[in-house]
């Protein structure tokens, strides 16, 4: 609950921030207005940490650059066309934007920018009332033309103007509603939510890169599930990640299986809890969270209803991996993230064979080799994938995974498990067998790698003897 006395005190502290004071003095001396705007004001009132400082002013971009240059160590004007100048002031990165009123023309993917002259007009064009507040500096005056404070108190997300107009100006704001709902644990006001449902198709004019950015921000929140539910319930997610609502498989009276959609949301929550407990203080792991959300997207495509009432999803791991790769590429995710998510989904079922019976050291080595640099994420995803209410089964699976992790540690202590290679390299293979570079060297290398995985370190002499035996058999065959 927002305490106004405490909130106003925190606004005073925000105004007294050294960077804010420095900029406020510089702009006032130059004869221009300046205000901290948006998220920093909202978070100060809520008592949340403030990470970035954003400012708005009646100064035009050229004037902003002229004012900040003497008091900053770096400046950048990549956003000049939109009225934004960035600078590094006293070690902090800030952005200062001219009062503006931008909108889409309904067909292009880029906003049309018009500069404004008043702070109230600038605030009216912002996404939600809780972000449409500003703190004038240096005189420390809260500007709140759309009753954002009241909505903060009520825990409501509402657009400053008619939501149809606001979302028409920038359809991406509909995705921001889902993100802020998750980030702040706020409800979306009725008319605003209805507009999201009615205008969802306008999201098609927004570039995949911008949608990807908003999806990442949602997944970086402490509890993105709330926002994902908003996207699914409004139909917005159908336009850029339709595999998620497709998880809501129909269940008839003769065939029973768990609710795959709810299961996936639970896995996401559990993965985040494990991620934060195993890596405290680390940045949110977006690739892991995407994999947790999408790990079962192959199930709708592979579902088979059996005559006895059972349901199977054979190969949904491999199918889902391919589907995820295609979708992330369409959303313009980078190659590393796409590869990581695809591999995690492909491997997420591998462990469950271990729970049925202890693996040999060879099987453990192969598990580590196949996971590669995704092993820690795979540990988390596999553990999070256990959502059974059967406490005995859950305890058995947890114990099995404790065991496999212990064995991996033990094997690492015995050998360099993370970089398993044959005990003889390609040059040695050629010299021992008297062959030139080519396909046969590759076959020999794979034989030695399998030998290494199956039997561990046997020494170069023994490896050479086994290689010669294999070569003799191969030649005779």
pLDDT, one tens digit per residue, over 8-64 is 788 999 999 999 999 999 999 999 999 999 999 999 999 888 878 999 999 999 999
Cβ atoms of 121 and 132 closer than 8 Å: no
Q: Where in the chain is the domain with CATH 1.10.110.30?
A: 164-240
Query: What is the three-class DSSP state of 52?
Result: coil
Cβ atoms of 14 and 44 closer than 8 Å: yes
Summarize pLDDT for 443-475 with one digit per residue, the tens: 888 888 888 877 878 888 998 999 999 988 888
Q: Where in the chain is the domain with CATH 3.30.460.10?
A: 1-154
Structure tokens at 265: 């949301």
Candidates 167, 169, 172; CA nearest to 210 is: 172
Summarize pLDDT for 70-79 with one digit per residue, the tens: 999 999 988 8
What is the per-residue DSSP string for 58-119?
SS-HHHHHHHHGGG-SEEE-TTGGGTEEEEEETTEEEEEEE-B--B--SSSSSPBP-B-S-H
164-240 CATH fold:
Hydrophobic Seed Protein (1.10.110)
Does the pLDDT at position 257 exceed 70?
A: no
Does the pLDDT at position 417 exceed 60?
A: no
Summarize pLDDT for 351-380 with one digit per residue, the tens: 876 656 667 777 888 888 889 899 999 999
pLDDT value of position 1: 53
251 band by pLDDT with thresholds 50, 70 and 90: low
**Spatial CB neighbours of 348, under 8 Å, sequence gap ≥ 6:** 291, 295, 317, 378, 381, 382, 385
Q: Where in the chain is the domain with CATH 1.10.3210?
A: 247-419
Structure tokens at 302: 């592979």
Cβ atoms of 35 and 55 closer than 8 Å: yes
- Sign for the CA dihedral angle at 212, 279, 266, 354 comes to positive
Candidates 128, 241, 239, 232; CA nearest to 177 is: 128
Class of domain 247-419: mainly alpha
What's the CA gap between 6 and 148, in Å, rounded?
16
Q: What is the dihedral of CA 203, 208, 213, 219, to 10 degrees?
A: 80
Summarize pLDDT for 392-415 with one digit per residue, the tens: 888 888 888 888 888 888 877 766
What's the CA gap between 159 and 310, in Å, rounded?
48
pLDDT value of position 286: 98
Between strands 34-37 and 134-136, the pairing is antiparallel
Average pLDDT taken over every residue of the chain: 89
Paired with 462 in beta bridges are: none
Does the pLDDT at position 240 exceed 90?
A: yes
Average pLDDT over residues 339-346: 97
Locus of tokens 């359809």: 171
What is the per-residue DSSP string for 135-197?
EETTTTEEE-TT-HHHHHHHTEE--SS-HHHHHHH-THHHHHHHHHHHHHTPEEPHHHHHHHH
- pTM: predicted TM-score of the whole model, two decimal places: 0.81
pLDDT value of position 456: 78
Paired with 112 in beta bridges are: 103
Does the pLDDT at position 250 exceed 80?
A: no
User: Residue 397: what are its φ and ψ, rounded to 5°?
Assistant: -65, -40
CATH architecture of the domain with residue range 1-154? 2-Layer Sandwich (3.30)
Paired with 187 in beta bridges are: 156
What's the CA gap between 249 and 245, in Å, rounded?
9
- Exposed (0-12), middle (13-18) or buried (19+): which is 378, by Cβ within 10 Å? buried
Does the pLDDT at position 228 exceed 50?
A: yes
Summarize pLDDT for 301-326 with one digit per residue, the tens: 988 877 666 778 888 999 999 999 99
Does the pLDDT at position 252 exceed 60?
A: no
- Sign for the CA dihedral angle at 216, 327, 232, 350 comes to negative
């Amino acid at each position: 609950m927002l305490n106004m006395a405490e909130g106003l005190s925190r606004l005073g502290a925000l105004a007294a921030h050294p960077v804010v004071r420095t900029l406020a003095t510089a702009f006032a001396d130059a004869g221009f207005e300046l205000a901290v705007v948006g998220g920093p004001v909202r978070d100060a009132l809520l008592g949340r940490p403030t990470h970035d400082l954003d400012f708005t002013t009646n100064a035009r971009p050229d004037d902003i650059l002229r004012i900040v240059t003497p008091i900053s160590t770096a400046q950048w004007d990549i956003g000049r066309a939109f009225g934004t100048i960035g600078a590094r002031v006293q070690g902090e990165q800030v952005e200062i934007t001219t009062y503006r009123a931008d909108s889409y023309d309904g067909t292009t993917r880029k906003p049309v920018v018009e500069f404004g002259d008043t702070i109230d007009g600038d605030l009216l064009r912002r996404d939600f009332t809780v972000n449409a507040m500003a703190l004038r500096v240096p005189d420390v005056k809260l500007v709140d033309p759309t009753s954002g404070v009241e909505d903060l108190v009520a825990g409501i997300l509402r657009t400053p103007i008619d939501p149809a107009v606001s979302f028409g100006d920038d359809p991406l704001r509909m995705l921001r509603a889902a993100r802020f709902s998750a980030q702040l644990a706020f409800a979306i006001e009725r008319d605003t939510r209805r507009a999201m449902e009615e205008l969802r198709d306008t999201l098609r004019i927004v570039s995949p890169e911008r949608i990807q950015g908003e999806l990442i921000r949602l997944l970086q929140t402490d509890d993105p599930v709330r926002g994902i539910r908003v996207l699914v319930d409004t139909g917005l997610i159908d336009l850029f990640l339709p595999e998620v609502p497709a998880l809501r498989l129909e269940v008839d009276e003769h065939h029973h299986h768990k609710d795959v959609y709810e299961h996936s949301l639970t896995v996401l929550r559990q993965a985040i809890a494990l991620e934060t407990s195993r890596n405290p203080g680390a940045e949110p792991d977006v690739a892991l969270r995407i994999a947790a959300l999408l790990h079962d997207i192959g199930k709708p495509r592979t579902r088979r209803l059996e005559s006895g009432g059972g349901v199977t999803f054979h190969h949904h791991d491999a199918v889902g991996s391919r589907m995820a790769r295609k979708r992330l590429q369409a959303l313009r995710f980078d190659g590393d993230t796409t590869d990581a998510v695809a591999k995690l989904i492909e491997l997420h079922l591998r462990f469950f064979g271990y729970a049925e019976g202890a693996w040999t050291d060879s099987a453990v080595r192969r598990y580590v080799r196949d996971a590669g640099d995704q092993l820690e994420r795979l540990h988390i995803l596999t553990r999070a994938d256990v959502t059974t209410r059967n406490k005995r089964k859950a305890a058995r699976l947890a114990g099995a995974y404790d065991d496999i992790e212990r064995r991996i540690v033990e094997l690492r202590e015995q050998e360099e498990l993370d970089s398993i290679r044959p005990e003889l390299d390609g040059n040695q293979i050629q010299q021992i067998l008297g062959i030139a570079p080519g396909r046969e060297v590759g076959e020999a290398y794979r034989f030695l790698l399998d030998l290494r995985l199956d039997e561990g370190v046997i020494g170069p002499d023994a490896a050479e003897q086994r290689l010669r035996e294999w070569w003799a058999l191969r030649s005779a065959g």
